Amino acid sequence: MKFATVAFAFAGLAAPAFAQDIEAGAKVFNQCQTCHVVVNEAGETLAGKNAKTGPNLYGVIGRVAGSYEGFKYGAGIEELTTAGYVWTEADLATYVQDPTKFLVEKTGDKKAKSKMAYKVKKPEDAANVAAFLASLAPAPAATDPAAAPVTN
């Protein structure tokens, strides 16, 4: 009985402090659409406008960081690209809260910087926008080697 209680307590620590809300994430994305758009393979705009300052975020969850064709990334993201680092919802939520801090932690390079200047202030907003982006594209196939997350 004691073991079950302890296991349950630790399981609760791993769970997010709040549930992701896709609709709320869509509202948060309104702040992101100044620079980003979500356009699927068929060319349909799913979110945003014709912004081209940042990369298209369609399929970002499960995609290798910095791998969207035709966009010039900063050196910090390029380090993640070289390592084959794959975005997860949790990491994207962390990244959008403080892109430079995220890159420093993931790359170990204290000089790593992000070209993304905007920061999502509230953790729940960051989680919601990541969930929203994940909801717009199918998850990568489990058999796709590029879909396997790289751990640092």
> Mean pLDDT in the chain?
82
Compute the average pLDDT of residues 108-137: 93
In this structure, what token pair is assigned to residue 15? 């769970």
The pLDDT-based confidence of 150 (bands split at 50, 70, 90) is very low
Q: Which of 29, 102, 19, 69 is nearest to 56 (CA)?
A: 69
Tell me, what's the pLDDT at 148? Answer: 46
Domain 17-147: homologous superfamily in CATH: Cytochrome c-like domain (1.10.760.10)
The pLDDT tens digits of the residues spanning 103-118 come to: 999 999 999 988 998 9
The pLDDT-based confidence of 50 (bands split at 50, 70, 90) is confident
Name the strand (E) or helix (H) holding 39: strand 37-39
